[in-house]
Structure 1
């Protein structure tokens, strides 16, 4: 599975993403594509998305912890790594 969340994608990239993904919300893409296609999509995103796109990519993998997280440019959520586990930091609002 591949999940892509972006702050803002270029129109051409967003249109291309709609070929492989369901877009449940604007700039949120979800797909169950195979690993080889997922790698091609990730390479495409790195090639055509400027850092201002703020892309966060969640990809399922076969080794622990079962996923990897990548990003392009600054994102709205902060990522951290604790003992080799990639996590997204959520701030609590009172």
Structure 2
């Protein structure tokens, strides 16, 4: 499985992504591609997206923890690593407990 979250994609890249992915929300793409095709899509994104695209890529892996997270540019959410586990860091709003 491959999930791509973007701040801003070029129109040509977004159109191409719609060939392989379901877009449940603008700039959120989800697909169950095979690993070899998923790697090609990730390579395509690295080649055709600028750093301003702010992309988070979640790719499933056959080994623990079962996924890897990659970024292109500076996405609105940051990635942190805790004991080898990649996590998405979200700022908590007022009145929320951590």
1:13 matched residue in structure 2: 13
**Distance (Å, rounded) in 2 between the aligned partners of 1:91 and 1:74:** 15
CA deviation after TM superposition for structure 1 residue 5, in Å:
0.2
Which consecutive residues of structure 1, in runs of 5 or more, have no partner in the other structure? Answer: none
Larger Rg: 2
CA deviation after TM superposition for structure 1 residue 90, in Å:
1.4
Equivalent residues in 2 for 1:46-61, closer than 5 Å = 46-61=46-61
Equivalent residues in 2 for 1:3-42, closer than 5 Å = 3-42=3-42
CA deviation after TM superposition for structure 1 residue 75, in Å:
0.6
* Structure-2-length-normalised TM-score: 0.95
CA deviation after TM superposition for structure 1 residue 92, in Å:
1.3
2:67 matched residue in structure 1: 67
**Distance (Å, rounded) in 1 between the aligned partners of 2:4 and 2:50:** 15
CA RMSD of aligned residues (A): 0.5
**Distance (Å, rounded) in 1 between the aligned partners of 2:48 and 2:92:** 33
* Structure-1-length-normalised TM-score: 0.98
CA deviation after TM superposition for structure 1 residue 62, in Å:
0.4
**Distance (Å, rounded) in 1 between the aligned partners of 2:56 and 2:90:** 14
